Amino acid sequence: MAVKKFMLVNRKAPHGSIYALESLEVVLIAAAFEQDVSVAFIDDGVYQLKKGMQTKGIAVKNFSPTYRALEDYDVDKLYVEAESLALRGLKADDLVTDVKVVDSETLADLMEEQDVVLSF
């Protein structure tokens, strides 16, 4: 089977819609089929990685710690857009896992290198 380069772009907040959780499932499926998977977080998608989320009050499971386990699936290319972090008053230290913080131009270049880009 030919290996394809997939990038999943997370743009939505982690709760209030199915986008974030569905994206995580697609990441795991692509990794299970040994594809080259990258994940980018931009706009409100950066909140998916925020440490210390308390979801009990909205009666949903906090799935963001799952991002720390992606390395076990050989998914270690996690990118966060610097401008999105800054606009939301966040820094890399505020996130649940190690990521590469890149500017929007670098992220656009990375997207150009992919065979498939899926936006959630």
Tell me: the pLDDT tens digits for 12-49? 998 888 899 899 999 999 999 999 999 999 999 999 99
- DSSP label at residue 50: B
Q: Is residue 1 scored above 90 in pLDDT?
A: no
- When mean pLDDT is compared across 7-21, 46-60, 73-87, the lowest value belongs to 46-60
- Candidates 47, 34, 24; CA nearest to 2 is 34
Q: Which helix (H) or strand (E) holds 7?
A: strand 5-10
Please tell me which residue, 3 or 1, carries the higher pLDDT value. Answer: 3
63 vs 119, residue with greater confidence: 119
CA distance 63 to 49: 9
Instruction: Name residue, tokens 């308390």.
Output: 54
73: closest CA among 36, 114, 120? Answer: 36
**CATH code, residues 5-119:** 3.40.1260.10
